[in-house]
Every structure is written in C-alpha cells, then in structure tokens.
C-alpha cells in the first residue's frame, strides 16, 4: 500500500488523506451520536417519567369515608402510562401497556428496565401516603424504544446527509489543494520549459507572496540567474579560447609542413616534426569543434543548406576510411539505397558521418566488421552504423553525448577528447533529425540516425 501511495502525486495523496480523515470524523461522529446521544435521550426520558409520576401524586387526595381518590390524572400522556395501585397491589386507576407483566414488584425511587416479549420498558414507582393509614403506589411506565426514537430518526438523517457533506468537503478540499498547488505546477512547467529549450534566460516569475512556495519560486529564479551568468562566462571563455588558439595552431602546422617539405632534416628531426604536426592538427580539429559547439550554444550557427546526396556522400567517406580501417584489420561493408537527398549543410554532414564511422573504427576489434546501412521512406532517411567492437556499458550510454566525457579508451587506439559524439548530436538536431545508440559490452554498438528527406 505504501509503495502504491508513493506512485501517486502529492496533490492526490493529500486529497486521499483528507478524504480518509473526513470519513473517520463521520464515523466518530456517528459513534458518538449513538453512544452518547442515546444515553442522553434515555436520561431525558427517565427524568420525564419521574416528573410524570410525581405530578400524578399531586392529583391524588384522601377522603376518610371514600379513601383515596384520583382527581385529574391522565392515564396516558406523552408516551407515559400512569396507573395507581393500592398498597396490596390492586389496580385503582390507570392504563397498563399490552403485554406488560402486572406482577412486577414495586421499588421505591428506582428506575427499573423491564424486558418482555412485547418490548422493553422503563418503570418508575412511588409510594404516596396521604392522611390514610395505607398509602398507594403510583407507577409510571414508558417504552424504552420510544426514548430512542428521536436519536434513531436523527441517525437515519445523518446517514444520508453526512456522506453528502463528506463528498462536498472532499470536492471543496480538492479545489483548495489544487489552488494551493498551482504555484508548484507553475514552477514545474517553467523548469520543464527551461530544460527542454536549454534556455536559462526564462524565469518562473511567480506573483508576489509570503508563503514558502513563493519563496521557493523566488529562490529558483535567483539560482537560474547565477547559473545563467556562470554558463555565459563559460561559453564566452570557450569561444575566446578557441579564437585565440586558432592562430598559433595554424602557425605550428604551417611551420611543420614547411620544415618537412623544404628543410634538410635527419631522420630524428623529421620524426619530431611529424609528431608535432600530428598533434597540432589534432589540436586544430579540437579547436574547430569547440568553436562550432560554442557558436551552437549561442545560436549563431547558420546552416549553408543545399540539396545533398547523402547516399553518394556516405560512399565517398566509407572509401576514404577504408585504409584507416585496414590498419585494424576491420572490414567495411555497406547497404546504401541510392539517391537519398537531404536539404542540409554538406560540410556539417561530412563531419557527422566521419565522426560516426571513425568512432566505429576506433572502438572496433581487430579483425572485426563495420557495416553501414542507409535507407529511406517518403519522410525520412534512416541510417545505421554497426560495429562488433568493445561496446558501451549501460551506465555510460547516456553520458557519451556529454562534452569531454570518455568511456575507458579502446585498446586499439589512443582515444579522442570526447567532442565527436556531442558534435554528431548537434548536427543531427540542427538538421531536424535524431541520433540514438544501442550497445552491449563486448558485443558491439549500433548508432541509428534519422534525418528529414528532401521531397522532390
């Protein structure tokens, strides 16, 4: 039950607890009404019975010739039967309920509760002694059921009215809870908009209030202000650093190429310049990707769109990377449907395919296989790049799209810097597409992308 309750929203849980409390209160109220109310009504009935008996004594007189006489005693009034007996137990006056046992002994100043086949009765006896030597008994009889009639009727009404009151209370309670949780929904919706749009400039902007929820909203807005400033500084730093590093890396590359082509170098010097050139070219590619991602964060990347034959482009890139795959004894195969056209930026699409295919080669196994499949329908172009390499552990699947995140490097390569796959996702989304990955450790990885197809 606890586990199921945890799956419910807080608003629904509060409403259910409120409903349970209302039902409990109704049950307690009815129990109180039955136990205390019935006792109160019974006490009131017994007092009425005693009062009727004592009032009857006022209407009895004694005559020395005629004995005791009853003047104006009403034998039945307001549910009370009155009768008068001689000291010997002979009925002198009054009425007795049907089925009542007349042999019940008299008890002075004490209420008796007598049960018979015809019902239950309260009996009150009082000895009246006038001027005569022998007194008379005044007996009052009242049905027990009559004493609880009022409470029974009230309970019947309550059983109808209280559930309606509970339902109305729950409905009004839910409305109040819903209204109380409105600021929380606004906070949630604002956070979702910020998360979905990756736009930290948006704010919750709750109206002014003094309670804890409004304070929470203001605190979130303040936190978003600080986060936005922090991210803006980080973006600015990345952009500035990328710009500043482009020139020195370009100079290093140019000087190394010039030295290798025009200077008389011994083998050690050539090896040193070749190493420097390779590292500089890697740094140049890194700087280029950083600059591209920095511009993407700022929304400054404009695609140079044109019709691109993705089938032809994929074949060219696979041919270019065949030699690199051969270094690891990886065989490349393809199943590419012809004339799959996309309206996109060719330069970015080249980078997109290069990163995916190079990733498959880099983390493939020696003597393994890499297969690319490309097919389309009326709306989309769907591609798959599958390898049978080291695979990706489940805990790393979502993290590979994060910048600079690297799974444990492949034994077959030196690994990258963790910008290739974030660049792949950016290019796919920039073209209105998606890219996903499925992988099993030590079995292989499949990257699947979907891009919108240019309609003829």
Three-state SS annotation for the chain? CHHHHHHCCHHHHHHHHHHHHHHHHHHHHHHHHHHHHHHHHHHHHHHHHHHHHHHHHHCEEEECCCEEEECCCCCEECCEEEEEEECCCCEEEECCCCCCCCCCCCCECCEEEEEECCEEEEEEEEEECCCCCCCEEEEEEEEHHHHCHHHHHHHHHHHHHHHHHHHHHHHHHHHHHHHHCHHHHHHHHHHHHHHHHCCCCCCCCCCCCCCHHHHHHHHHHHHHHHHHHHHHHHHHHHHHHHHHHHHHHHHHHHHHHHHHHHCCCCHHHHHHHHHHHHHHHHHHHHHHHHHHHHHHHHCCCCCCEEEEEHHHHHHHHHHHCHHHHHCCCCEEEEEECCCCEEEEEHHHHHHHHHHHHHHHHHCCCCCCEEEEEEEECCCEEEEEEEECCCCCCHHHCHHHHCCCCCCCCCCCCCCCCCCHHHHHHHHHHHCCCEEEEEEECCCEEEEEEEEECCCC
Whether residues 275 and 314 fall in one domain? no
Whether residues 243 and 315 fall in one domain? no
Task: With CA atoms as reference, report the closest residue to 170 among 47, 12, 46.
Answer: 12
Q: Which domain holds residue 272?
A: 212-298
Last residue of a domain, one of 298, 319, 339: 298
Whether residues 374 and 425 fall in one domain? yes
Q: Residue 319 sits in a domain of what CATH number?
A: 3.30.565.10
Predicted confidence at residue 300, as pLDDT, reads 60
Last residue of a domain, one of 151, 168, 193: 151
Whether residues 232 and 317 fall in one domain? no
Q: CB count, 10 Å around CB of 94?
A: 20
Nearest-angstrom CA–CA distance, 61 and 132: 10
Cβ contact 247:283 at 8 Å: no
Whether residues 104 and 228 fall in one domain? no
What 177-182 contacts at long range (C-beta under 8 Å, 24+ apart), as own/partner pairs, is 177/11, 177/14, 177/15, 177/18, 178/11, 180/213, 181/10, 181/11
- Residue 454 to residues 304, 380, 398, Cα–Cα distance (Å): 15, 8, 30
Task: With CA atoms as reference, report the closest residue to 147 among 44, 34, 35.
Answer: 44
Nearest-angstrom CA–CA distance, 236 and 413: 32
Whether residues 242 and 320 fall in one domain? no
Strand 444-452 and strand 67-70: the pairing is: unpaired
Last residue of a domain, one of 298, 313, 337: 298
Nearest-angstrom CA–CA distance, 114 and 96: 14
Nearest-angstrom CA–CA distance, 47 and 59: 19
Cβ contact 19:170 at 8 Å: yes
Query: Would you say residue 274 lies in a domain?
Result: yes
Q: Is 177 left (phi over 0), alpha (psi -120 to 50) or beta?
A: alpha
Predicted confidence at residue 343, as pLDDT, reads 92
Q: Residue 50 sits in a domain of what CATH number?
A: 3.30.450
Alpha-carbon dihedral sign for residues 400, 402, 403, 407: negative
Residue 82's Cα: distance from chain center in Å?
70
Whether residues 20 and 132 fall in one domain? yes
Predicted confidence at residue 2, as pLDDT, reads 46
Query: Would you say residue 107 lies in a domain?
Result: yes
Whether residues 291 and 334 fall in one domain? no
Predicted confidence at residue 342, as pLDDT, reads 92
Whether residues 59 and 113 fall in one domain? yes
Task: Give the phi and the psi of residue 331 in degrees, each rounded to 5.
Answer: -95, 135
Q: Residue 272 sits in a domain of what CATH number?
A: 1.10.287.130
Cβ contact 113:122 at 8 Å: yes
Residues lower than pLDDT 50 in the chain: 1-3, 410-414
328-374 pLDDT tens trace: 889 999 999 998 999 998 888 988 998 899 888 888 888 899 999 99
Cβ contact 317:282 at 8 Å: no
Tally of domains in the chain: 3
Predicted confidence at residue 210, as pLDDT, reads 66
Q: What b/e sequence results for 161-187 when a residue is b if at least 16 CB atoms lie within 10 Å of its CB, and e otherwise? A: ebeeeeeebbeebbeebeeebebeebb
Longest dimension (CA), the chain: 166
Predicted confidence at residue 393, as pLDDT, reads 84
Whether residues 360 and 264 fall in one domain? no
Whether residues 283 and 393 fall in one domain? no
Q: CB count, 10 Å around CB of 301?
A: 16
Predicted confidence at residue 39, as pLDDT, reads 73
Predicted confidence at residue 442, as pLDDT, reads 83
Query: Would you say residue 122 lies in a domain?
Result: yes
Cβ contact 138:73 at 8 Å: no
Query: Would you say residue 177 lies in a domain?
Result: no
Query: Would you say residue 427 lies in a domain?
Result: yes
Query: Would you say residue 187 lies in a domain?
Result: no
Whether residues 365 and 415 fall in one domain? yes
Predicted confidence at residue 412, as pLDDT, reads 42
Query: Would you say residue 104 lies in a domain?
Result: yes
Predicted confidence at residue 175, as pLDDT, reads 81
Return the bridge partners of 381, or none: 376, 451
- Residues contacting residue 83 through CB under 8 Å, at least 6 positions apart: 75, 91, 93, 94, 95, 96, 138, 139, 141
Query: Would you say residue 72 lies in a domain?
Result: yes
């Amino acid at each position: 039950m606890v586990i199921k309750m945890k799956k419910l929203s807080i608003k629904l849980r509060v409403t259910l607890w409120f409903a349970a409390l209302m039902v409990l209160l109704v049950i307690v109220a009815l129990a109180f009404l039955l136990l205390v109310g019935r006792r109160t009504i019974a006490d009131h009935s017994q007092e009425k019975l005693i009062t009727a008996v004592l009032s009857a004594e006022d209407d009895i007189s004694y005559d020395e010739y005629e004995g005791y006489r009853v003047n104006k005693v009403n034998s039945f009034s307001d549910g009370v039967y009155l009768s008068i007996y001689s000291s010997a137990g002979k009925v002198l006056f009054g009425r007795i309920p049907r089925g009542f046992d007349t042999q019940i002994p008299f008890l002075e100043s004490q209420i008796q509760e007598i049960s018979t086949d015809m019902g239950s009765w309260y009996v009150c006896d009082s000895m009246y002694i006038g001027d005569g030597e022998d007194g008379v008994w005044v007996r009052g009889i009242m049905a027990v059921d009559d004493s609880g009639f009022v409470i029974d009727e009230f309970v019947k009404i309550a059983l109808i009215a209280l559930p309606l009151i509970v339902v109305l209370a729950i409905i009004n309670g839910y409305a109040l809870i819903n209204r109380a949780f409105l600021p929380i929904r606004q906070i949630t919706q604002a956070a979702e908009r910020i998360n979905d749009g990756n736009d930290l400039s948006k704010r919750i902007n709750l109206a002014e209030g003094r309670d804890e929820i409004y304070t929470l909203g203001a605190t979130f807005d303040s936190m978003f202000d600080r986060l936005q400033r922090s991210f803006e500084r980080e973006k600015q730093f990345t952009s500035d650093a990328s710009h500043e590093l482009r020139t020195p890396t370009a100079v290093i590359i140019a000087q190394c190429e010039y030295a290798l082509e025009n200077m008389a170098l011994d083998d050690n010097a050539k090896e040193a310049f070749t190493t420097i050139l390779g590292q500089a070219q890697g740094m140049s590619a890194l700087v280029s990707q950083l600059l591209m991602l920095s511009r993407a964060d700022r929304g400054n990347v404009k695609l140079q769109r044109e019709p691109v034959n993705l089938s032809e482009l994929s074949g060219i890139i696979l041919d270019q990377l065949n030699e690199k795959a051969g270094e690891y004894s990886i065989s490349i195969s393809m199943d590419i449907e012809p004339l799959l056209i996309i309206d996109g930026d060719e330069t970015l699409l080249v980078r997109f395919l290069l990163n995916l295919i190079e990733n498959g080669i880099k983390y493939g196994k020696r003597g393994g296989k890499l297969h690319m499949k490309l097919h389309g329908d009326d709306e989309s172009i769907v591609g798959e790049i599958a390898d049978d390499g080291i695979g990706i552990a489940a805990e790393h699947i979502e993290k590979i799209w994060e910048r600079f995140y690297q799974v444990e490097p492949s034994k077959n390569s030196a690994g990258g810097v963790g910008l290739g796959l974030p660049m792949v996702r950016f290019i796919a989304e920039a073209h209105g597409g998606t890219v996903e990955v499925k992988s099993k450790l030590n079995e292989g990885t499949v990257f699947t992308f979907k891009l919108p197809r240019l309609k003829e």
